Amino acid sequence: MTGRFGRQPTGWGPRLLARLSKWVHSVAGQVFALQAVIVLLLIAAAAAALVVQARYDIRRDAANRSLAAAEAFAHAPGLPEALRTPNPTAALQPLAEAARRASGVDFLAVMSTEGIRYTDSRPELIGERATGDLARALAGQSFTETFTGEPSDAVRAVVPVRDERGAIIGLVGTGIEVANVSDAVEDQLPLLLGAAAGALLLGTGGAALVSRRLRRQTHGLGAAEMTRMNEHHEAVLHAVREGVLIIDADHLLILANDEARRLLDLPPDPEQRHVGDLGLDPGTAELLTSGRIATDEVHLAGDRLLAVNVRPTEPYAGQPSGTVMTLRDSTELAALSGRAEVARGRLQLLYDAGVRIGTTLDVVRTAEELSEVAVPRFADFTTVELLDPVLRGDEPSLVSGHFTEMRRAAMSGVSTDHPLQPVGDVIRFEVPTAPMASALDAGHAMLAADLNAAMGWRAQDSEGTRLALGYGLHSLISAPLQARGVVLGMANFWRAADTPEPFDEEDLSFAEELAARAAVSIDNARRFTREHAMAVTLQRSLLPRVLPDQNAVDVAFRYLPAKAGVGGDWFDVIPLPGARVALVVGDVVGHGVHAAATMGRLRTAVHNFSTLDLPPDELLGHLDELINRIDQNESGGAAAGGGEGGSEEDGASDGVGESAQITGATCLYAVYDPVSGRCVMASAGHPGPALVSPDGWVEFPELPTGLPLGVGGMPFEAAHFQLPEASRLVLFTDGLVEDRDRDFDTGLRLLGEALSRPGRSPEQACADVLAALLFPAPSDDIALLIADTRRLEADRIAEWEVPGDPSAVSRVRNAGSAQLSAWGLEDIAFTTELILSELITNAIRYGSAPVRVRLLRDRSLIVEVSDGSSTSPHLRYAATTDEGGRGLFLVAQYAERWGTRYTDRGKVIWAELPLAGGGELPGVAEPDLDALEDLAW
User: In this predicted model, which residue has the larger pLDDT, 478 or 192?
Assistant: 478
Residues in the chain: 937
Contacts for 714 with CB less than 8 Å, ≥ 6 apart: 706, 707
What mean pLDDT comes out for the span 612-620?
Answer: 91
Tens digits of per-residue pLDDT, 215-271?
666 666 666 666 666 666 666 666 677 888 888 888 888 788 877 887 777 888 888
Read off φ and ψ for residue 686, nearest 5 degrees: -105, 145
Q: Where are the alpha helices (DSSP H) in 219-325?
A: 223-239, 258-264, 282-290
Residue pair 464/357 in contact (Cβ under 8 Å)? The answer is: no
Q: Residue 706 pLDDT more than 50? A: yes
Which of the residue ranges 309-313, 332-336, 718-722, 865-869 would you say has the lowest mean pLDDT? 332-336
Following DSSP, what letter does each residue of 734-765 receive, concatenated?
GGGT-BTTB-HHHHHHHHHHHH---S--HHHH
CB 157 within 8 A of CB 135: no
How would you list the strands of the sheet with 782-789, edge to edge?
553-560, 782-789, 728-732, 690-692, 698-699
φ/ψ bin of 696: left (φ > 0), alpha (ψ from -120 to 50), beta (otherwise): left
For range 87-113, the mean pLDDT? 85
Give the Cα-Cα-Cα angle 353, 358, 364 (nearest 5 degrees): 110
Torsion, Cα 812 813 814 817, to 10 degrees, reads 120
Give whichever of 319-333, 641-655, 755-769 has the largest mean pLDDT: 755-769
Q: Write out the DSSP string of 148-196.
A: -SSS--EEEEEEEEE-TTS-EEEEEEEEEEHHHHHHHHHHHHHHHHHHH
Give the C-alpha distances (Å, rounded to integers) separating 879 from 885, 886, 934, 937. 8, 9, 17, 12
DSSP-derived 3-state class of residue 863: strand
Does residue 363 contact residue 387 with C-beta atoms inside 8 Å?
A: no
Give the per-residue pLDDT at 316.
64
State pLDDT tens for residues 682-692.
999 999 999 99
Return d(Cα 937, Cα 19) in angstroms, integer: 122
Half-sphere exposure (CA, 13 Å, Cβ side) for 538?
A: 22
User: What pLDDT was estimated at residue 896?
Assistant: 84
Return the higher-pLDDT residue of 879 and 223.
223
pLDDT at 925: 44
pLDDT band at 750 (very low <50, low <70, confident <90, very high): very high
Residue 288, phi then psi, degrees to nearest 5: -70, -30
Of 497-511, 655-669, 672-686, the range with the highest mean pLDDT is: 672-686
Measured distance CA(25)–CA(479) in Å, rounded: 54
Which residues make beta-bridge pairs with 789?
A: 553
* Residue type at 785 in one-letter notation: L
What pLDDT was estimated at residue 282? 82
Flag the least confident range among 132-136, 317-321, 597-601: 317-321
- The pLDDT tens digits of the residues spanning 69-87 come to 888 888 888 888 888 888 8
**Confidence at 274, pLDDT banded by 50, 70, 90:** confident
Q: Residue 883's pLDDT band (boundaries 50, 70, 90)?
A: very low
Asked whether residue 581 carries a pLDDT value surpassing 90, the answer given is: yes
Buried-exposed string 139-162: b where 16+ CB fall within 10 A, e elsewhere: eeeebbbebeeeeebbbbbbbbbb
Among residues 16, 17, 20, 35, the alpha carbon closest in space to that of 209 is found at 35
CA 280 to chain centre: 54
Contact 542, 570 (CB under 8 A): yes
Q: What is the model's pLDDT at position 395?
A: 79
| Mean pLDDT along residues 374-383 | 90
Identify any residues that bridge with 667 across adjacent strands, giving them in sequence order: 586, 685
Q: Is pLDDT of 505 > 60?
A: yes
Flag the least confident range among 53-57, 548-552, 732-736, 876-880: 876-880
Beta strands in 598-662 (DSSP E): none
Among the ranges 75-79, 346-350, 928-932, which has the highest mean pLDDT value?
75-79
DSSP-assigned beta bridge partners for residue 730: 690, 786
The 3-state DSSP class for residue 865 equals strand
Q: Is 937 exposed, middle or buried (0-12, 13-18, 19+ CB in 10 A)?
A: buried
Whether omega before 151 lies within 30 degrees of 0, making that bond cis, reads yes
**CA–CA separation, 180 and 474 (whole Å):** 66
Could you please report the per-residue DSSP string of 364-432?
HHHHHHHHHHHTTTT-SEEEEEE-HHHHHTPPPPSS-S---EEEEEEEEES-S---SPPTT-EEE---T
Q: What is the predicted pLDDT for the residue at 271?
A: 82
- The DSSP bridge partners found for residue 899 are 910
Task: Please tell me the distance from the alpha carbon of residue 3 to that of residue 669, in angstroms, as a whole number.
Answer: 101
Cα 551 to chain centroid, rounded: 31
Q: Looking at the predicted structure, is the pLDDT value of residue 25 above 90? A: no
Buried b or exposed e, range 883-906, using 16+ CB within 10 angstroms: eeebbbbbbeebbeebebbeeeeb
Q: How far apart are CA 571 and CA 588, in angstroms?
A: 11
